[in-house]
Amino acid sequence: MDNFGRASHDISQCLITCSSPNGKVLETVGVFEAPKHQGKYETGQLFLHSVFGYRGIVLFPWHARLYDRDVSPATESKPTEPPGAHRSKEVKGKTHTYYQVLIDTRDCPHISQRSQTEAVTFLANHDDSRALYAIPGLDYVSHEDILPYNSTDQVPIQHELFERFLKFNASKVPPFIPRDTLQAWQEKNHPWLELSDVHRETTENIRVTVIPFYMGMRWRYCIRLENMGEEVVQLRERHWRIFSLSGTLETVRGRGVVGREPVLSEEQPAFQYSSHVSLQAPSGHMWGSYRLERPNGTFFDVRIPPFSLESKKDDTPNGFLPGPFTSLA
DSSP string, 196-221: -EEEEEEETTEEEEEEEEE-SSSEEE
Q: Which pLDDT score, from 0 to 100, does residue 320 have? A: 38
- DSSP annotation of 34 reads P
- CA separation for the pair 305, 212 (Å, rounded): 12
Tell me whether residue 154 is exposed, middle or buried, using C-beta atoms within 10 angstroms of its C-beta: 0 to 12, 13 to 18, 19 or more.
exposed
pTM of the model: 0.82
DSSP state for residue 88 in the 8-state scheme: G
Of 55-69, 150-164, 209-223, 298-312, minimum mean pLDDT range: 209-223
Q: What is the structure's pLDDT at 78? A: 38
Give residue 133's pLDDT band: very low, low, confident or very high (50, 70, 90): low
Would you state the pLDDT for residue 317? 42
pLDDT at residue 160, as a whole number: 93
What does the buried/exposed string (b/e) look like for 261-300 if buried means 16 or more CB atoms within 10 Å of the residue's CB? Answer: ebbbeeebbbbbbbbbbbbbeebbbbbbbbebbeeeeeee
Q: Which of 32-41, 158-167, 183-192, 291-300 has the lowest mean pLDDT?
A: 183-192
Name the residue among 256, 291, 292 with its Cα closest to residue 275: 256
Domains of the chain from N-terminus onward:
24-70+92-194 (no CATH), 202-328 (2.60.40.1470)
Q: What is the rounded average pLDDT of the residues 179-183?
A: 95
Q: pLDDT category, 123, cuts 50, 70, 90?
A: low
Rounded percentage of the chain residues whose pLDDT exceeds 90: 53
pLDDT over 80 (residue 62): yes
For residues 101-108, average pLDDT: 92
- Omega cis (within 30) before 269: no
Which is nearest to 269 in space by CA: 191, 206, 188, 185?
Answer: 206
How many angstroms separate the CA atoms of 215 and 224, rounded?
20
| Angstrom distance (rounded) from CA 325 to CA 245 | 12
Q: Helix (H, G, I), strand (E, B), or coil: what is residue 249?
A: strand
CB 210 within 8 A of CB 226: no
The whole-number pLDDT of residue 295 equals 96
Task: Provide the mean pLDDT of the chain.
Answer: 81
